């Protein structure tokens, strides 16, 4: 009897989560129907025009989509040289040592810092450095936002990668050593290939995190509506345009912002699905 009640409770909880997700999707679709009806799905996605003035209003998501993908992928690129060594340090070289658990908890601490604090750090500390590097006159833009994003996603990429690296059975590595391989050779030819799918999945999840980041990006990217073509440009991301303009939005503009929210939801969902798929392939192998 008790077992049945427990089972029922679990079932109800799982159902509640499903309903919640379905509800979110329902509201996003329902509220954004207006804008997709007005411009068509592709007309909305591939239009770079964003004109909120009532007389000439026209809304397209393209510049924000590009801004989002640009910053997220560049951040991913920047984070690899930092997160991969940390993962090897924790999951391979010093696996099980005290120093490794210390380093990994410090890295995890990075994940716990609120994004507004990252924003302030970028604003007051990093921006003057970016100006001195001569990226652009004011420092704000894709470059600055990407650097801060990269630091923010390091813990996500590194701790999951370290997990996958440490899962490789010692017997396999010992086999490599017995054949005369050095440690570096073992990592290059045994550990990394074996954990590769897991590491790729870790980076994809980190990418998903970078795509949705709002506060820190809003403070640093410049918030201009244009399609960024270089690291020097200012721009805007999907999450930050929603955060900025939702308060005063009405009618078609509100619908357009919710439409952007729906697109962001779809993009992150697809990225998560890809990560899941790759991880599944790993466990089969």
Nearer to other proteins by C-beta: 225 or 272? 225
Nearer to other proteins by C-beta: 127 or 173? 127
Q: Least distance (Å) from other proteins to the CB of residue 44?
A: 17
The yes or no reply on residue 219 touching other proteins (CB under 8 A) is yes
Length of the chain: 285
With CB under 8 A as the rule, give the number of residues binding other proteins: 29
Give the span between the Cα atoms of 237 and 234, in whole angstroms: 10
The yes or no reply on residue 213 touching other proteins (CB under 8 A) is no
Look-up of token digits 């440490």: 166
Nearer to other proteins by C-beta: 3 or 55? 55
Q: What does the per-residue mask of binding to other proteins show for 227-246, with x meaning CB under 8 A?
A: -------x-x------xxx-
Which residues in the 103-162 window bind other proteins by CB under 8 A?
Answer: 123-124, 127, 137-140
Residue among 250, 283, 284, 285 that touches other proteins (CB under 8 A): 250
Which residues in the 37-76 window bind other proteins by CB under 8 A?
Answer: 50-56
Give the span between the Cα atoms of 258 and 132, in whole angstroms: 38
**Of residues 270, 234, 220, 219, the one with CA closest to residue 66:** 234
Nearer to other proteins by C-beta: 40 or 54? 54
The yes or no reply on residue 248 touching other proteins (CB under 8 A) is yes
The yes or no reply on residue 169 touching other proteins (CB under 8 A) is no
Among the residue ranges 1-9, 73-81, 220-228, 277-285, the one whose residues contact other proteins (CB under 8 A): 220-228
Residue among 224, 227, 274, 278 that touches other proteins (CB under 8 A): 224
Structure tokens at 260: 């952007």
Which CA distances in Å does 128 have to 83, 122, 125, 144, 148?
A: 25, 9, 6, 10, 14
- Are 222 and 141 in contact by the 8 Å Cβ rule? The answer is yes
Residue among 218, 238, 258, 267 that touches other proteins (CB under 8 A): 218
Residue among 12, 247, 283, 285 that touches other proteins (CB under 8 A): 247
Torsion over CA: 50, 52, 54, 59 (sign) = positive
Look-up of token digits 């899962």: 167
Torsion over CA: 52, 55, 59, 64 (sign) = negative
Nearer to other proteins by C-beta: 115 or 244? 244
The 3-state DSSP class for residue 158 equals helix
Contacts of 232 (CB under 8 A, 6+ apart): 135, 136, 141, 142, 143
Nearer to other proteins by C-beta: 226 or 272? 226
Among the residue ranges 104-112, 150-158, 198-206, 217-225, the one whose residues contact other proteins (CB under 8 A): 217-225
Give the span between the Cα atoms of 140 and 232, in whole angstroms: 8
The 3-state DSSP class for residue 227 equals coil
**Of residues 164, 185, 161, 163, the one with CA closest to residue 175:** 185
What residues line the site for other proteins (CB under 8 A)? 50-56, 123-124, 127, 137-140, 218-219, 222-225, 234, 236, 243-245, 247-250
């Amino acid at each position: 009897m008790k077992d049945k009640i427990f089972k029922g409770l679990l079932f109800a909880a799982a159902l509640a989560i499903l309903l919640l997700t379905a509800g979110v999707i329902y509201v996003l679709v329902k509220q954004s129907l207006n804008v997709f009806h007005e411009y068509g799905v592709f007309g909305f996605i591939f239009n770079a025009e964003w004109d909120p003035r009532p007389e000439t209003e026209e809304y397209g998501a393209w510049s924000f989509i590009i801004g989002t993908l640009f910053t997220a992928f560049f951040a991913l690129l920047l984070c690899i040289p930092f997160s991969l060594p940390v993962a090897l340090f924790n999951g391979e070289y010093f696996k099980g040592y005290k120093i490794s658990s210390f380093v990994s908890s410090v890295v995890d601490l990075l994940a716990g810092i609120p994004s507004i604090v990252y924003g302030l750090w970028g604003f007051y500390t990093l921006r003057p450095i970016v100006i001195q590097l001569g990226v652009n006159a004011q420092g704000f833009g894709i470059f600055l936002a990407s650097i801060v994003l990269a630091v923010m996603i390091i813990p996500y990429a590194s701790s999951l990668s370290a997990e996958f690296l440490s899962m490789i059975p010692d017997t396999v590595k010992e086999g490599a050593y017995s054949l005369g391989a050095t440690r570096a050779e073992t990592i290059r030819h045994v550990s990394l290939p074996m954990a590769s799918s897991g590491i790729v999945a870790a980076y994809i999840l980190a990418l998903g995190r970078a795509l949705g980041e709002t506060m820190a990006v809003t403070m640093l990217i410049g918030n201009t509506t244009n399609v960024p073509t270089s690291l020097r440009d200012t721009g805007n991301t999907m999450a930050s345009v929603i955060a900025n303009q939702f308060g005063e939005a009405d009618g078609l503009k509100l619908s357009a912002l919710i439409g952007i929210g729906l697109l962001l939801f779809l993009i992150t969902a697809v990225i998560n699905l890809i990560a899941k798929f790759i991880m599944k392939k790993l466990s089969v192998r």
